[in-house]
A and B are shown apart, each in its own frame.
Chain A
Amino acid sequence: GAVVSQHPSWVICKSGTSVKIECRSLDFQATTMFWYRQFPKQSLMLMATSNEGSKATYEQGVEKDKFLINHASLTLSTLTVTSAHPEDSSFYICSASTWRGGYTFGSGTRLTVV
């Protein structure tokens, strides 16, 4: 089945630094990748949608310059949290749409900014 590998699974960084999260589709080509943010015991909030080779589409209220998304190939999409601050601490999940019309989710990244 379709698998999305997300790394790292957890990361701790200092305030002001940048962190990159990678999502790779292992056995299929992910034309579209979705990036979500989830706070504890809350729902998944869509941050942006990225399509291979084009600029990401950000949801209202999401800072484009803080959350940089790159989808340079059909198997790799990255989310970079720039100049991270404690309020950026959260759980980030990627999801790729598959040819079957379904979705495959990465295992998530827990980001803690100290």
Chain B
Amino acid sequence: AQTVTQSQPEMSVQEAETVTLSCTYDTSESDYYLFWYKQPPSRQMILVIRQEAYKQQNATENRFSVNFQKAAKSFSLKISDSQLGDAAMYFCAYRTGTGSSNTGKLIFGQGTTLQVKP
């Protein structure tokens, strides 16, 4: 069974600085998807970034980028120029790539609470 591990329960960063959140996963599959979700105090889940395992290029979305190391099964999230609005709980998630693309369930890590200091 696949597992996702986030070893940092809490992180803090100074506003405008850069922070990296760690995520490792375990799988025997070669085809899968990885996600980072943000959950602010409103508790609405917001997609931050997504990575297809078959793509070697790291995904980037504005100030958010990932370091995807497939062999090491590592998927870290880098937030550049941190803003107060980035404060939230961040979840790393895994989805199998096999079967229908619309039926795969997400497996979440434990989450990392990010505090942004002004």
Contact = CB atoms under 8 A, between A and B. Distances in A.
A77 interface: no
Nearest to B106: A103
Interface residues of A, number: 23
Contacts, number: 53
B110 A95 contact: no
B43 interface: yes
Interface residues of B, dominant DSSP: loop
B84 interface: no
Give the interface size bracket for B toward A. Answer: 20 to 34
Contacts of A99: 102
Nearest to A46: B105
Nearest to B103: A32
A105 B105 contact: no
B113 interface: yes
Given A43-B91, A107-B43, A97 B103 contact: yes
Interface of B: 33, 35, 42-45, 47, 50, 89, 91, 101-111, 113
